[in-house]
Amino acid sequence: MLNIILFGPPGSGKGTQAKLLEKRFNLVHISTGDLFRYEIGHHTPLGQKAKSYIDKGLLVPDEVTIGMLQNKVEKHSDAAGFIFDGFPRTLPQAEALDAFLAQKHSQIDGLLMLEVDDDEILKRILNRGKTSGRSDDNNEAIIRNRIKVFNEQTAPIFDYYAQKNKSFKINGIGSIEEIADRLAQKVRELSEETTT
């Protein structure tokens, strides 16, 4: 089993690239945004709990997010591996993910960080905002704050996995295909390491 965290600031192209990797390597793509929409849309107990926080503008607690993630992993017990997109966002989430995978005699094999500078991210998100229907994609101040939150709260996860020699930086600038090829090359290397 091959487990990858696709990592990077908002607008770095994680969602697009995760879908391409999913097809290329037959992995299951787990996006926390999709998980929330599914659980809330299907009125599951975890979905109802998450909605109660979201409706108040609060962050969904880790145990709720992790519960959803565990449900998704359990549903795909025969998967060749997983791509985690948008998770973990904090060190406690990274530790909880490691503990959960360890129970399944598995682990994170690599964190692949898409490196994109702040100006390019801003340009991409504003461009996405023309069609995404998300009001937060059209406000430069909100976008800059999302980047700041990522740098302060989420970026330390790179160091957490780097201490285990599992963090890798991938150039996130170029065409979708060029970036996909760079990521695929690294995934192939990781895949070879897990089978030897």
**Residues that are catalytic:** 14, 89, 128, 134, 146
Alpha helices (H) in the chain, listed in sequence order: 14-25, 32-41, 45-54, 62-75, 91-103, 118-132, 140-149, 156-162, 176-195
Short-list 129, 126, 121, 93, CA closest to 108: 93
Count of CB atoms within 10 A of residue 178's CB?
12
Q: Please give the single-letter amino acid code of residue 35.
A: L
